A and B are shown apart, each in its own frame.
Chain A
Amino acid sequence: MRAVGIVFSNIHDTNIPELVRVRSFGSIPFGGRYRLIDFPLSNMVNSGIDTVGIITKSNYQSLMDHVGSGKDWDLARKDGGLIILPPFGDTESSSLYNTRLEALKGITSFLFRADEEYVVMTDCDSVCRINYNEVLEYHIRNQADITLIYKKGVPISGSIDYGTTFDVNESGRIVGLNYKTPLDVKDANVFINVFVMKKSLLQNIVMDSISHNKKSFTNDIIAENLKSMKIMGFEHKGFYAGISSLQAYYESNMAMLQQDIRNEVFGDRSVFTKIRDSAPTKYGNSAIVKNSMIADGCIIEGEVENSIIFRNVKVARGCKVKNSIVMQNTVLGENCTLNCIITDKNVTIKDKVVLSGSETHPFYIGKGIMV
């Protein structure tokens, strides 16, 4: 592939402050064994992109720990591979970037060094499978300056409350852009935060925005240039889950319990993630499990229903877990009851504790807390 990949790992931090208190957005755990960054990274690798820069901002230890050398994505390369791009200090302001454009100003040397002709830029706020080759072909065929990917409608109700939407004409060109649209419109073209363009164009845009102090890619570049540039929309027709709130996070995880969605996302076994050596999961004599996704290394002796259980979780005898997301290394004591709960990593729930949230407002328990 003739494109270099850029992944923004922190852009949506304000969406779910609970989950990013101790990590960057890209390293939010998802689907039992994954982190959100696994999806854009795997999409890139599966599309043949083998140079990927990950732009980080703050709290990125967990992200670095997760991606490591990039080996698990076949991105530990001599030539290209995975490159972490920490924030770049700037003599004029000591504050860190807030927008994509500001972040890009800090990676001009990375862009300069890459010898690929095109760039694919994506955020870490979605779970979907996209073949970027198809997008690039579309981009070239249409002689576009910039191609943006959108999804028609909202696949899961409540999954996105608001977002940027496009007006797209018959030929696929974006002719209008609306910010923070309430997404109750069923056939809205929702921007899913993926950009494709020539690297040279991106370099010009970044240089120009440094000299003119432009801040936002969508507001200052896309919206301003709808007429002067050919900006195309590419419709992503497959499954898409946008992680725009804790509620959306909960529902997107729960969507993995549906067989057709699970098959679409994981069926070809090409979502890569960091390999950990957990033993296989063990079910005890008293285990009762229904409609749940369970990762390796667990010991299940209680009841689990409609839930996502991450690695190395212990569910003791008599414990009942329903409609919940239980992250890595959580210990659930005997006879405790959980309904609509999200427990972060390393949580301990003591015996006989009863916790309940609701499907519209799941209750979140922070990392390492003992209840």
Chain B
Amino acid sequence: MIRKKKCVAMLLAGGQGSRLYALTNNIAKPAVSFGGKYRIIDFPLSNCVNSGIDTVGVLTQYQPLVLNDYIGNGQPWDLDRSFGGVHILSPYQGKTSSDWYKGTANAIYQNLHFIKQFNPDYVLVLSGDHIYKMNYSKMLNFHILNNADCTIAALNVPIEEASRFGILNTKDDGVIYEFEEKPKKPKSTLASMGIYIFSASKLYKYLEDDSKNPNSSNDFGKDVLPTMLNSGEKMMAYQFEGYWKDVGTINSLFEANMDLLGDSPNFDVSDNNWKIQSRSPLAPPHFIGDTAKTTNSIIMSGCEVYGTVENSVLASDVRIAKGAVVKNSIIMSDVVIEEGAVVEYSIIDERTVVGKNCQIGDPIDSGKGIALLGRDISICENAKIDGGAIVDKNVEEGK
């Protein structure tokens, strides 16, 4: 029997995420922490596993160390397989040419040999910067049922926001007749989610063609998909209903984290029927001290909380000292907030130390925006960091 896979997923995880500023100085966007426990890439990876797709190529390029370490052999997602499983695909040196990934399509093109060894009928292309729960097998069934060559997942967005997205104009039966990239006057509200299913043979053909076109920017959205449409391939829009968030900016990352809070949160990660798997830290349960106050927040294992935590997300091993206040903020793992410090409307990245009586950020209604502290820095006692500021170096006394 020839072993093959019905569908192979290719996860584009090379993005720099420059609009996340200090958060992505040293790590790729998909490795950014989310929701206390997760990293962004956990969502597409878990979606794959929960959808029955057990072969995933992860295309890395920008600062891949943390991401590669995190994915490892894929064991936390049950993707440590002898046939299939998760594979890190980094740019490589070839005999005749050596290139970085030039665009999304080029990244897949350079790894066609990886896909072909599994002889799949379909290829799912995903991006590593979205937070959502989606059953890809439903989308695949839709693709098969409609005998499509390419299916693009689409989300209905409010008409006033439609001009921020790539819009799919479709006929009544879901067949796409036109793409519009960020149209000023959108004709439809179906926004592309950057999730594509291709029939494998078509993908191979169009990627080969694209690679030979010197004028192409080797991008799916700009080049490959429009070419396919113009060549008369059957392209379908698959309408997705549910929570989906592009966390490409500081504000959207903050909002997505806050969407986890509340009695009936906008986005629920504790759904046992659709578990989000991740690499768990080795930490004891968290401890809430006598002087602590913890309301409407998410707190991960290993934390020690002696201060006040309100409307916030705390990742593992965070220490909030007595008298410190954390409000409307996202605190990533191993951060220390010392006595009397006040943190409001801020994002603080891993292992940063905030000194005594510091003031980080301004209240959420001050209109000054989110204060962002990068990883591995220390902020001296009594320092004041304004809302909207981005700090990625130590703040020392007298400065």
Chain A residues packing against B (C-beta within 8 Å): 31-34, 71, 256-257, 259, 262, 265-266, 269-272, 275-297, 299, 304, 308-310
Contacts of A288 in B (CB 8 A): 293
In the assembly, what is the distance between CA of A297 and CA of B271, in Å? 11
B 272-304 contacts with A by CB, 8 A: 275-278, 280-290, 292-302, 304
Contacts of B286 in A (CB 8 A): 281, 293-295
Given A280-B36, A290-B290, A297-B270, A32:B299 Cβ within 8 A: no
Given A31-B285, A293-B284, A285:B35 Cβ within 8 A: no
User: How many residue-residue contacts, CB under 8 A, span A and B?
Assistant: 112
Question: B290 touching A284 by the CB < 8 A rule?
Answer: no
- Is residue B69 contacting chain A, with contact meaning CB distance below 8 A? no
Contacts of A277 in B (CB 8 A): 76, 275-278, 280
Question: A293 touching B296 by the CB < 8 A rule?
Answer: no
Contacts of B36 in A (CB 8 A): 280
Contacts of B290 in A (CB 8 A): 290-291
- Is residue B364 contacting chain A, with contact meaning CB distance below 8 A? no
B123-156 interface code vs A (CB 8 A; 1 in, 0 out): 0000000000000000000000000000000000
Question: B292 touching A31 by the CB < 8 A rule?
Answer: no
Name B284's contact: one of A271, A283, A299, A304 (CB within 8 Å): A271
Q: How far is the CB of A66 from chain B (nearest CB, A)?
A: 15
In the assembly, what is the distance between CA of A33 and CA of B302, in Å? 11
Given A269-B302, A277-B276, A33:B284 Cβ within 8 A: yes
Contacts of A304 in B (CB 8 A): 288
Question: A291 touching B280 by the CB < 8 A rule?
Answer: no
Contacts of B297 in A (CB 8 A): 282-283
Contacts of A259 in B (CB 8 A): 287, 304
Q: How far is the CB of B351 from chain A (nearest CB, A)?
A: 14
Name A294's contact: one of B263, B278, B285, B313 (CB within 8 Å): B285
Question: A291 touching B298 by the CB < 8 A rule?
Answer: no
Prevailing SS type, chain B contact patch: loop
Question: B298 touching A282 by the CB < 8 A rule?
Answer: yes
Q: Which 8 A-B pairs have the closest CB atoms?
A: A32-B285, A279-B270, A295-B285, A280-B36, A266-B284, A289-B288, A280-B300, A279-B269
- Is residue B29 contacting chain A, with contact meaning CB distance below 8 A? no
- Is residue B37 contacting chain A, with contact meaning CB distance below 8 A? yes
Chosen A-B contacts, 29 in total, with CB atoms closer than 8 Å, are A31-B284, A71-B75, A262-B284, A266-B283, A269-B281, A269-B283, A270-B282, A272-B282, A277-B277, A279-B269, A280-B35, A280-B298, A280-B299, A281-B298, A281-B300, A282-B298, A283-B299, A283-B309, A285-B263, A290-B289, A293-B284, A293-B287, A294-B285, A294-B288, A295-B285, A296-B285, A296-B300, A296-B301, A299-B270
Chain B residues packing against A (C-beta within 8 Å): 35-37, 75-76, 260-261, 263, 269-270, 275-278, 280-290, 292-302, 304, 309, 313, 317
Question: A292 touching B288 by the CB < 8 A rule?
Answer: yes
In the assembly, what is the distance between CA of A276 and CA of B283, in Å? 12
A280-B298, A283-B298 given; 19 more Cβ-contact pairs under 8 Å: A33-B284, A256-B284, A257-B287, A269-B317, A270-B282, A276-B280, A277-B278, A278-B270, A280-B299, A283-B309, A284-B263, A287-B294, A287-B295, A289-B288, A290-B289, A294-B287, A294-B299, A295-B286, A296-B37
Question: B288 touching A290 by the CB < 8 A rule?
Answer: yes
In the assembly, what is the distance between CA of A277 and CA of B280, in Å? 7
